[in-house]
Structure 1
Amino acid sequence: MQRVCQLGWLIVIVGFAVEGSPAFGQALRDAESRDGMVVAVSPDAAAVGAEILQQGGTAVDSAIATAFALAVTHPSAGNLGGGGFMLVYPGDGSPPLMIDYREKAPLAAEREMFVDNNDTHTHPYVGVPGTVRGMKLAHELYGSLAWRALVTPAVALSRDGFEIHVGLAAELNRELGRSTNDEFRRVYGKPDGSDWAVGDRIVLSDLAATLQRIADDGPSGFYAGKTAELIATEMKAGGGLISTDDLLRYRARVRQPTRCRFRGYEVLGPPPPSSGGITLSQMLGIAAQFDLRRWGRWSVKTNHVMIEAMRRAYANRAMYLGDPDFAHIPKHLTSVDFAKYMAGTIDMDQATPSHLLGPPLTEPDESPQTTHFSVIDRDGMAVSNTYTLEASYGSGIVVRGAGFLLNNEMGDFNRRPGVTDTKGSIGTVANEVRPQKRMLSSMTPTIVLKDGKPYLITGSPGGRTIINTVFCVTLNVLEFGMSAREAVDAPRTDHEWFPDRVRFMGADDPEHARLVEQLRQLGHTIVDTNSQGDANTILVSDGSFIGAADYRYGAAIAPGGNAD
């Protein structure tokens, strides 16, 4: 279904997708505005972000308000108890920067603590949350409205409640059916014990109180005082490691974004501990060595090169990337010469077996339940933000009395040092567990500049598929001239080095049958996948902001004034 809501001079176009219903996705239209735009997975959160723009807030103000609102309305990934990355293009002549608010390992963490512990839905898998510190750092750097004004809308949503849509109803009912956490069932269960239905209203009183402390006291309302004590008590009760000292020590970091050139555009991405920017830069660098535009988007040559670029970049990702405060990251990984070298190793007549690129390593699975949103304001400040709890609903642990979910991000470390195999273990040093270390991530918030100004703002959830989703969307626009809608809707491919196979959205679609068969003849193993990512995207064209919400999961576009 689709509904259009008038919010003063803002129009919110809301679409909820039904899985396996491409017809609906095709009907979901773009939105266009010259006064700013928010594209996010939750209609209520997008509306909150749009209202902040209406009040004269910056894109960062809007992003902060959207993030806190998502912690209420999109509990599977929106969060207070997780972390992520915010890429900011200031628009005032100062350089872009990345705010790294990725979670950290607690002080008591040990290198081999997970060797015999594979249950990621337990307290030891919770990393020190970074979201609140990250939002506050962004506000200190680029905020214009009062902090309280950015958090209060989320307080109201949780205190007064909000209507549940079809996707959230199904999610909550599923999670409640399998949860073993008493507090999760108390906080998110329907008061009468029945299943949630579309249109029901959910009230989250404990979360409202936690958000109010954050509104009143900033990060001290989370990392100290009552909330911190509640977190520490929860950890102690469940055998977790986070202490009040861990919380007091946590700081978000300002880092320089990765930069690469592609066809005259400049592509900005997240640096380590995200692997997204370096890996995306490598894939674009390889693609730049071939005339893909002449071959066409759906030619076998183009798709062969894209797959081989993914294969090589992901091999380097696994072997070299981690928290730069603990691991040395080779500088040559993003050089043009290295991209040319990797391109030269591609055999256009056959697929390269992945084991030839290095030892047969794979990595711990990253959950696809992350969320991404894109924001731009009328003055050209742009924000690309991706954050997560890791698995859907994180650890599934709700802090007793505080009403919010905790992450299970510690599972993104290499859990078995020195042990590598083809079944999901990698033992390289760069991403081993260390106290106060940030775990490697695939989150890839991206901003593409044209003539030094934002042209494309994109990103995605999807675990390790994230980088390949962003690669596909970016290439669709920059190389093949697709519109935002076309770029987001197009089928996506995914190759992660190991396992040595290609996931192709719509591989069983007759439209792509010939391409799939040609790729198989080259030696690629092709498997079909129903979905990959949620690329909520903004494209800037002739001064207009064109939003493309990804129909695959349902999303909201909140454009400012004069929306078409």
Structure 2
Amino acid sequence: MHKALRPVLTAGFLVGLLAGCAATAPARAEAPTAVAPTPPGAAIASAHSLATEAGMEMIRAGGNAFDAAVAVSSTLSVVEPISSGLGGGGFFLLHDAASGRDVFVDARETAPASATPAAFLDEDGELDRDRATNGPWSAGIPGLPAALVHVAREYGELPLSTTLAPAIRIAREGFPVYERLERGYARRSQVMERYRGTREVFLADGDPPQVGEVLRQPDLARTLELIARDGADGFYRGEVGQALLASVAEEGGRWTAGELAGYEVREREPIEFEYRGWHVVTAPPPSSGGVALAQMLQILGGWDLAAMEEPDRIHLVVEAMRRAYRDRTIYLGDPDFVEMPLALLTDPAYAAGLRATIHPDRATPSDLLSGQPVPLEDDETTHFSIIDGDGNRVSATQTVNLLYGSGLVAPGTGVLLNNEMDDFALKPGTPNAFGVMGFEANAVEPGKRMLSSMTPSIIESDDKVAILGAPGGSRIITEVLVGILGYDAGLDAQQVAALPRYHHQWMPDVVSAEPDALSPGTVKALEAMGHTVNAGEDTWGNLQTVAWDKRTGELSGGTDPRNPVGKAEVLPEPATSP
């Protein structure tokens, strides 16, 4: 986080603001005096300025939020190979203003038929970490290209040849390498340089990517052109499909033409619930985020957080996190494969029961909660948020999992494959590379979608709409939670994006916090309650959010200051004071 933000946007600041809002804000029950029927323009926030600008290019061309989403998503797939791409997957939460319908487009990767539990064990019966995280065996069948085509054709107004044009142009002409790309490549170089196709992209000039150099990806531009021309067949069949199959086979993996060509997105009903006058729409399984968010917020809804001192408030939030992550581990998986008690897990009465188990001034040791020993993934994912002048909304999170995914680029395609297989419980009860543990609900099976923490969300009150989401692995869910609490406290979009973060995920039984997120006094008080606190972790996440004030008509955007290449843009630009 930028140091200038730390003294201002501390958890203590948020508590004070909560208290101030409680004292000065009008009662929620009051009828709005004037509510604008639609936003005055459009707002987009994404993790890279070129992607935000690509989305605005579609708005200016007469497209809607869904057209902008295709442009933003595909451009991020070019400029953020460290975080996402055509070889990965994602979730698109859409609100169609004309019908009032909310829909969740599930483009999560699927396991190939070769992905049996035994395939990921070494000769001693232990999880083979290298196979689970690197190269062809770590890659699921990609879902993002199918999502781009589906969103464009079902919800957009512009042809794919238009919405993919910015990404094609940037892939061909190149873009300047930024610090995170250089740093991430250095961390993953030994893996990435194993593969011929990866070397052809990232060592094209003879050395690794360096800040300021221009990274060109002509093969990726060609792949995007084929998708623009042929739709999903341009990726999953034909020359690109054959090249993907050949590359996986060349490196020792096994995909079939049938499972590649047979990939389909799923449209699912979002999870919806109420929190203190906000209607929350969020991600259903195979995301774990919406269920956990519903549990945490509905637990916290039983207390007046604004009236509490910082240690007491943080304690209760942490205890809500602890219980939600316990249930995440035990119950959640791919809804096409697993029966889950979703109605129970998201019921306010269930949340009330969990609330009753929380001691007001003592931590609950995680090993005393019923269940079996859960989550910590990498933060190299990306999110974008969009609202347009008709009121259409998009909250989308996409990923290739770890830094640069599997490290494997299929020669001739420019497509960097994901390593999402590591998000399965490949060996139930054994944590993955980032400490994420799971059991039978998330065990690997052919065609199954691995559990995710991506939590694209939309919240709406009488007078405001906010769209938000973030990367951060298992910490995504708590980032979104802290963001929603910030909006409820009256923060604006940029303040929400910059909020300091803290996190608990049941196992390990530790409160993680960014530097200066918790005051020394709060850390001491939490430890006296029985919490173990690590208050000096590196910053994490990359939250992107937009908001519409329905009473004033103001549109705003917030981009995470932890990421210097992100951009939030509003069209038309807000008027400035003379």
TM-score normalised to structure 1 length: 0.90
User: 1:513 matched to which residue of 2?
Assistant: 520
What's the secondary structure of 1:85's corresponding residue? strand
Partner of 1:388: 399
Provide Cα deviations, 1:424-479, integer angstroms capped at 9, x if missing partner. Answer: 4745211011111000000000000224x86110000000000000000101111x
Code of the residue aligned with 2:268 in structure 1: it is R
Q: Which residue among 349, 352, 372 is the counterpart of 1:340?
A: 352
State the match for 2:21 in structure 1: none
Which residue number in structure 2 is paired with residue 500 of structure 1?
Answer: 509
Specify the alignment match of 1:17 in structure 2.
none
Deviations 1:533-557 (A, max 9, x none): 1111112112222101001022111
Matched residue, 2:25: none
Counterpart CA distance in 2 for 1:560 and 1:202 is 29
The answer to whether the aligner puts 1:264 opposite 2:277 as a matched pair is yes
Residue equivalent to 1:352: 364
CA distance in 1, matches of 2:353, 2:438: 27
1: CA distance, partners of 2:6 / 2:438: 41
| Equivalent in 532, 552, 567 of residue 525 of structure 1 | 532
Q: CA distance change for structure 1 residues 356 and 51 in 2, over 3 Å: closer, same or farther?
A: same
Question: Which of 459, 465, 475 is equivalent to 2:475?
Answer: 465
Contact 2:315 2:361 in 1 (8 A): no
Q: CA 1:421 to 1:371, structure 2 compared with 1: closer, same or farther past 3 Å?
A: closer
Matches within 5 A, 1:173-322: 173-176=186-189, 179=192, 180-191=194-205, 193-194=206-207, 196-295=209-308, 299-322=310-333
Which residues in structure 2 correspond to 1:382-421 (within 5 Å)?
A: 382-417=393-428
Q: Output the amino acid matched with 1:489.
A: A
Secondary structure, aligned partner of 2:454 = coil
* Equivalent residues, number: 533
Q: 2:461 aligns with which of 450, 458, 467?
A: 450
2:74–2:164 CA contact under 8 A, matched in 1: yes
Amino acid at match of 1:514: G
Give the CA deviation at 1:178.
5.7
Please give the alpha-carbon distance, in whole angstroms, between the structure 2 residues aligned to 1:435 and 1:178.
26
What is the CA distance between 1:40 and its match in structure 2? 0.7
| Distance across 2 between alignment mates of 1:398 and 1:448 | 38
What CA distance in whole angstroms lies between the structure 1 residues aligned with 2:570 and 2:7? 20
Shift of residue 339 of structure 1?
Answer: 0.6
**Alignment partners' CA distance in 1, 2:438 and 2:71:** 39
TM-superposed deviation, 1:177? 6.1
2:245 partner SS: helix
SS in 2 for 1:96: strand
Within 5 A, what are the aligned runs for 1:51-200? 51-116=57-122, 117-119=128-130, 120-176=133-189, 179=192, 180-191=194-205, 193-194=206-207, 196-200=209-213
Cα gap change, 1:549 to 1:424, in 2 (>3 Å): closer
Deviation, 1:26, is: 9.6
Q: Which whole-Å CA distance do the structure 2 matches of 1:147 and 1:195 have between them? A: 33
Cα contact 1:34–1:562 (8 A) shared by 2: no
One-letter identity of the residue aligned with 1:304: H
Distance 2:90 2:423 in 1: 13
Aligned to 1:534: 542
Q: Distance in 2 between matches of 1:552 and 1:356?
A: 36
Letter of the 1:60 counterpart: F
1:402–1:195 Cα change, 3 Å: closer
2:4 aligned residue (23, 46, 54): 23
1:421 CA drift (Å): 11
Matches within 5 A, 1:40-55: 40-55=46-61
Q: 2: CA distance between counterparts of 1:195 and 1:526?
A: 38
Secondary structure of the residue that 1:75 maps to in structure 2? coil
> 2:557 is matched with which residue?
547
Deviations 1:151-208 (A, max 9, x none): 12111111122223343344345544663223212211251x2454443222111111
Contact 1:415–1:425 (Cα < 8 Å) also in 2: no
Deviation at 1:137, TM superposition (A): 1.4
Q: Percent identity?
A: 36
Question: Relative to structure 2, which stretch is displaced further, 228-237 or 417-426?
Answer: 417-426
Counterpart AA for 1:188: F
Say whether the 8 Å CA contact 1:63–1:383 is kept in structure 2: yes
- Cα distance change on mapping 1:215 and 1:419 into 2, 3 Å: closer
* 1:377-423 deviation digits (Å, cap 9, x = unpaired): 11111100001001111000001111110001011110113668999
Mark the CA change 1:301 to 1:102 in structure 2 (over 3 Å): closer, same or farther.
same
| Alignment RMSD | 2.2
Q: Residues 447 and 174 from structure 1, CA distance in 2 versus in 1: closer, same or farther, beyond 3 angstroms? A: same
C-alpha change, 1:126 and 1:459, in structure 2 (3 Å) is same
CA contact (8 A) 2:109 2:141 kept: yes
Question: Which residue is equivalent to 2:484?
Answer: 474
Cα separation, 1, equivalents of 2:279 and 2:233: 38
Give me the TM-score of the superposition, normalised by structure 2. Answer: 0.88
Deviation string, structure 1 residues 505-540 (Cα, Å, up to 9, x no partner):
125x7x711111111111111102221211111121
- Relative distance call for 1:336 and 1:24 in structure 2 (3 A) is closer
Tell me, yes or no, if the aligned pair for 1:493 and 1:503 is still in contact at 8 Å.
Answer: yes
Distance 1:25 1:494, change over 3 A: closer
How far the C-alpha of 1:81 sits from its partner, in A, is 0.6
Question: In 2, Cα distance between the equivalents of 1:73 and 1:96?
Answer: 29
CA contact (8 A) 1:361 1:422 kept: no
Structure 1 stretch displaced more, 169-178 or 249-258: 169-178
Q: Which runs of 5+ in 2 are unaligned?
A: 10-38, 123-127
| 1:492 positional shift | 1.0
Tell me, in whole angstroms, the C-alpha distance in 2 between the residues paired with 1:44 and 1:175.
25
8 Å contact kept, 1:69–1:154: yes
Paired residue type of 1:184: T
Partner amino acid, structure 1, of 2:523: V
CA 1:242–1:366 in structure 2 vs 1: closer, same or farther (change >3 Å)?
farther
In structure 1, distance between residues paired with 2:57 and 2:432: 50
Kindly provide the amino acid, as one letter, of the partner of residue 513 in structure 1: P
- Any idea what the Cα deviations from partners look like across 1:17-63, whole Å, max 9, x if unmatched? xxx642389999xxxx9421111111111111111111111101001
Contact residue 60 and residue 138 of structure 1 kept, 8 A: yes
Q: 1:544 to 1:356 in 2, by over 3 A?
A: same
Q: 1:398 to 1:503 in 2, by over 3 A?
A: same
Q: For 2:495, which of 481, 486, 497 is the aligned residue?
A: 486
TM-fit CA distance, 1:284: 0.3
